[in-house]
Amino acid sequence: MDAPVIQTQAVVVGAGPVGLFQAFQLGLQEVDTHLVDALPHAGGQCAELYPDKPIYDIPGLPVCTGQELTERLLAQIAPFRQPLHLGQQVLSLGRLPDGRFALRTSAGTAFVTQTVFIAAGVGAFVPRKPPLPGLEALEGRQVHYHGPGAAALTGQHVVVMGGEDAALQTLLDLLSAGTCASLTLLHRTDKFKADPALDAAVRTALATGQVRLVPGQPVGLELTQDGRLAALQVATLADTTDHLPLDALLPRLGLSPKLGPLADWGLALERKLLPVATDTFSTAETGVFAVGDINTYPGKRKLILCGFHEATLAAFAAAAIVHPERRVLLQYTTTSPRLHELLGVAGAVPG
Ligand SMILES: Cc1cc2nc3c(=O)[nH]c(=O)nc-3n(C[C@H](O)[C@H](O)[C@H](O)COP(=O)(O)OP(=O)(O)OC[C@H]3O[C@@H](n4cnc5c(N)ncnc54)[C@H](O)[C@@H]3O)c2cc1C
């Protein structure tokens, strides 16, 4: 049975830094908000592409890493308790006859909302998949692009695929957890493109026999009669086809940003970006806003602080749609008792 449709006032598509700050600004405007991201965690490019690298141009924060900024933004929105729907891509967006919008995600989550905020950055970060016919049917059961964690793989023969940081890190995490029956690394060569420390740790595990390396490319799946994945057929460097039995396959081939479904939502795109008005950050479709790296306007700069400004004005514009009966006033977080209440700091003694 399908899950019930979530009725809300705003859906933010993308939980990168700008999507997170968008949620904060919507919280201040008392707009009920849900966030969705294709990744299993928040933070967008900051968390995915440069979690440990320093950022120096966030106002008031002389230096912080991509991960730290993500954690601070999550802490900032915590008072609003806005549901975060992770690991699911928004696939469709359409307007309903009553003027609201219907959205559906790859996990089957359905929303009906008054406003939509597209904070999709460079597109949804989706895992690169090995081109093996039939693999999709095994996703979430024996094929996992994220997780599923060492406990879920207890007693299993696990094959990790890839030769970059993510693959090596997954392998080492599983090795240190010690729950798997066996661990195999499947990579097209015996050379890795990874951090030297990870490379060295994996080489040690290979030398001591804790992990096996199979250099080659998977070319086919061997299924049992009841549709379970029993083995991979692997084309080896020696031009033979090997049979690699397994219980679980963890492809870690990196992520690629996919604009994907957004291009089919009927919104006017300009070189894969959404043109917006700079007073509201609304697209040409009333009620649909675009903020952060996904939008374009004269003078646009793809910087986090520009996205924060855009999100602030977009939230004011959304409040006028969601609460037409109210005058949208400018209130300061420093002095407004109502904002203090919303932020859960009413009565707090300033330190
Ligand atoms: C190496 C590097 C260093 C950088 N350093 C700086 C810096 O020092 N200062 C600075 O200001 N900027 C910096 N930037 C740029 C900055 O990271 C971006 O401007 C910022 O991340 C944009 O934020 P965003 O929220 O708009 O998009 P993103 O961070 O791209 O987040 C978008 C999110 O939307 C999700 N998404 C997209 N489509 C969908 C969908 N259909 N369904 C569900 N989820 C979806 C994606 O999975 C992603 O998580 C740097 C960028 C890089 C790559």
Q: Please indicate, yes or no, whether residues 96 and 235 belong to a single structural domain of this protein.
A: no
**8-state DSSP, 111:** E
Domain count, the chain: 2
- The pLDDT confidence band at residue 266, using thresholds 50, 70 and 90, is confident
Q: How far apart (Å, rounded) are the C-alpha atoms in residues 240 and 297?
A: 55
> Is residue 351 pLDDT above 60, yes or no?
no
What mean pLDDT value characterizes the chain? 94
Residue 351: inside a domain, yes or no? no
Provide the 10 A C-beta neighbour count for residue 138.
18
Residue 349 lies in a domain: no
Q: Is 303 in the pocket of ligand 1 (CB under 6 A)?
A: yes
Residue 350 has what pLDDT? 60
146 and 217 together in one domain: yes
Residue 243 half-sphere exposure, CB side, CA atoms within 13 Å? Answer: 6
What confidence score (pLDDT) does residue 164 get?
Answer: 94
Query: CB burial class (10 A; 0-12, 13-18, 19+) of residue 164?
Result: middle
Per-residue model confidence (pLDDT) at position 33: 98
Q: What is the CATH number of the domain that holds 269?
A: 3.50.50.60
Q: Give, rounded to a whole angstrom, the gap between the first and last alpha carbons of the chain.
A: 51
Domain boundaries, position 54:
6-125+256-343
Pocket test for ligand 1, best of 18, 45, 57 (most atoms within 8 A of CB): 45
The predicted pLDDT at position 24 comes to 98
Predicted local distance difference test score (pLDDT) of residue 259: 78
What are the φ and ψ backbone dihedral angles of 153, each rounded to 5 degrees? -105, 15
The token duo for 255 is 């992520």
pLDDT digits (tens, 9 = 90+) for 267-310: 999 988 999 999 999 999 999 999 999 999 999 999 999 999 99
What pLDDT is attached to residue 258? 78
pLDDT given for residue 310 in this prediction: 98
The whole-number average pLDDT for the span 190-203 is 95
Question: CA-based angle 323:328:331, to the nearest 5?
Answer: 130
Domain boundary among 223, 253, 283: 253
Place of tokens 């729907």: 85
**Closest Cα to atom 35 of ligand 1:** 14
Query: Contacts for 225-229 with beta carbons within 8 Å, 24 or more apart?
Result: 227/137, 228/142, 229/138, 229/142, 229/143
